[in-house]
Structure 1
């Protein structure tokens, strides 16, 4: 004996409504904006004293934080592992995810790790615990297509810069095409907000004297602008004498990415007419020691390699300070950090020198496991006595897919110099 026809229709309608409601709940849970924070369950690790040599290899680029952690980026996640000198990537020490926003940049200062997301959110995490310290609004920035190492996001994040203020505070400047904002690094409090003219103006970086540097091509010849990091006011607009058309400005001597930079190099297309400059409070000052392409600036010394000989010159007086030969043809400067400058020979030996004296601190082949040294260097990052770089397959094919472009599934090599 069944239900009457009218009752069967009612039961069917109720069942359909319940099914639709269940699907809606599932869709909401899957697609609704969400945040998942997995804090650390262990103590903050001590900072090791690394022995010079190759440490290991990694599938993604590490951002070394406080000399204790390695922080990584993913499509919708920022996470950390330890120990900092571990041979391989390990289980996350902490992790932070957001949905549906995409991660576009990560910077660190001391024990604060700040992530930038495509919806404009800035989220600061405590490096010791992974817990959220503060949130702030920044200009929205669409997510970009990244290589699988995510090196651009953690080593050179677009539109995300540290800037030291004159009173000792540290600020974070966040830029988009149409707007720039600065927030205090300790608590996310907004310091200033200004409108920008659009894609005709691009970022160069920030200076050790607390300025945001931009290149403005919106009206007339390309002009370099210096914006005060504390107020957002443009204090100086400058264009080198006899500047070539299509001016290209490269920051030099930066402590991290394109932040806290000591100098600039200007050139035209194809590196025509390259000239180096020291940055200060006013207009940049010409520094011939910074003219050569590929120069590194460390501890007020400009280091270049010429015909297998490394040369250190004072950035202030342009006088030669030291020369170290025997590096062989094809040697190049990779990177620098206070107290160290890193060179790579044609055989892919990593040579670490004291930038002030030229004394060799270490030299060893950049080989791990059975990978060999038959590769070309890609993006590179150096801080706290560590150096990490991408290894690219020869011949380098910039437009190839990741499998062809990188040497292996673990293309990043980590070393201590």
Structure 2
């Protein structure tokens, strides 16, 4: 004899409620915000011996070399590290940090402190030695940025809106810039030191100077102006407009310690113009540096290295006086600069590293591995501590191409030691 109709409906309704509850629990576990930190299970690697000069190997993603011991990478929702820095291939992560559903927007390293910014504005600092979270802070949400390509080179080599500056007493400050907002933090513990809120597009940051200032553009009323803020307090130290500058211009920091932090110069260019005028920044108003004019010149301290018509020259940044000349390299392109080294790429894809003070050759070798050949074009490049990493693009690659047509191969990044 069957169950009464009323009891059957009660059972069916109860089963439906339980099913919906179970599904909701599963969805909550899958979709709820989450953080997964997998810390290092072994000790911090010892300081690496000087790596052998030459190409180390090829990688599928762009490495950020930290402390000369680790390589840090970014993914859509992950920051992770492997080691040692001079290993030929990428290997199992030394540590890993993930967040959901936010995406990685930028990664910056200063010493053994690694700061990541996420699409929801969250700032997370990791101890690079262990992968443990050192601090978390609320920051400005990043503005609209292009989706990074699969190497994530823009994320780790040029993290727009993340900069480090040092005060006169040696304290390190983190500067985070978002749409209409600038925040300053103590890098040691993540304490917010100051905040500036303005209308979107009114203020912005382009980098920091070697004298502890935030370098940016101010366009709240009238023509654009270069603005210098104290990185420790957020207070405006000065505003300056270059002579004969157009109402709108592009500000590019140059001569930086790493990335766009600790810069000693800037270049002012009209929109869409790849040339521009060079200036030195420091105490007082910027000083004209004609040797920095044009896009084929780079700054290292008080020296400008330039390339023109197959000749490489070193000049005084202040006077323009020629200090040395190299006419034996043929047509070359400066792909990266770091303190004490300027890295050039020849048409035969030789990587030549010069001392910017004397022009002396520190190293020279073919930027090639295995049977890959030299039929490629350099993309983004990065240098620190004598390491150089370069993206290899197909010779006819266009910015509109997808990654398959854009990059030379599945492992397009070459890592070398100079």
Partner of 2:266: 264
Which residue of the other structure, out of 305, 308, 323, is the alignment partner of 2:307?
305
Q: How far apart in 2 are the matches of 1:271 and 1:32?
A: 46
Partner of 1:248: 250
Partner of 2:359: 358
Partner of 1:8: 8
Structure-2 change in CA distance of 1:269 and 1:8 (3 Å): closer
The Cα of 1:121 is off from its aligned counterpart by 0.9
Contact kept in structure 1, 2:256 and 2:264, CA below 8 Å: yes
Q: How far apart in 2 are the matches of 1:219 and 1:241?
A: 18
Q: Point out where structure 2 has 5 or more consecutive residues left out of the alignment.
A: none
Counterpart check, 1:22 vs 2:22? yes
Which residue of the other structure, out of 182, 185, 188, is the alignment partner of 2:184?
182
- Could you state the TM-score of these two structures normalised by the residue count of structure 1? 0.96
RMSD (Å), alpha carbons = 1.5
Partner of 1:237: 239
Alignment of 1:286-297 (within 5 A): 286-297=288-299
Task: Please give the per-residue CA displacement for 1:322-374, whole angstroms capped at 9, x wherever unaligned.
Answer: 11121113x11111112211011111110011111111011111101221111
The Cα of 1:273 is off from its aligned counterpart by 6.9
Partner of 1:394: 395
Counterpart check, 1:39 vs 2:39? yes
Partner of 1:227: 229
Contact kept in structure 2, 1:104 and 1:143, CA below 8 Å: no
Q: Any idea what SS the aligned residue of 1:341 has?
A: strand
Q: How far apart in 2 are the matches of 1:251 and 1:118?
A: 25
Structure-2 change in CA distance of 1:56 and 1:115 (3 Å): same
Counterpart check, 1:107 vs 2:91? no
Q: How far apart in 2 are the matches of 1:272 and 1:305?
A: 15
> Aligned residue pairs: how many?
416
Quick check: 139-148 or 8-17, which moved more? Answer: 139-148
Q: Any idea what SS the aligned residue of 2:193 has?
A: strand
Contact kept in structure 2, 1:299 and 1:355, CA below 8 Å: no
The Cα of 1:75 is off from its aligned counterpart by 0.8
Counterpart check, 1:406 vs 2:407? yes
Quick check: 89-98 or 237-246, which moved more? Answer: 237-246
Deviating 4+ runs (over 6 angstroms): none
The Cα of 1:2 is off from its aligned counterpart by 4.0
Contact kept in structure 1, 2:181 and 2:203, CA below 8 Å: no
Q: Point out where structure 1 has 5 or more consecutive residues left out of the alignment.
A: none
Q: Any idea what SS the aligned residue of 1:271 has?
A: coil
Q: How far apart in 1 are the matches of 2:193 and 2:408?
A: 44
Q: How far apart in 2 are the matches of 1:362 and 1:401?
A: 35
Structure-2 change in CA distance of 1:44 and 1:148 (3 Å): same
The Cα of 1:281 is off from its aligned counterpart by 2.2
Partner of 2:59: 58
Partner of 1:199: 201
- Could you state the TM-score of these two structures normalised by the residue count of structure 2? 0.96
The Cα of 1:202 is off from its aligned counterpart by 3.4
Contact kept in structure 2, 1:103 and 1:143, CA below 8 Å: no
Q: Any idea what SS the aligned residue of 1:122 has?
A: strand
Contact kept in structure 1, 2:56 and 2:415, CA below 8 Å: yes
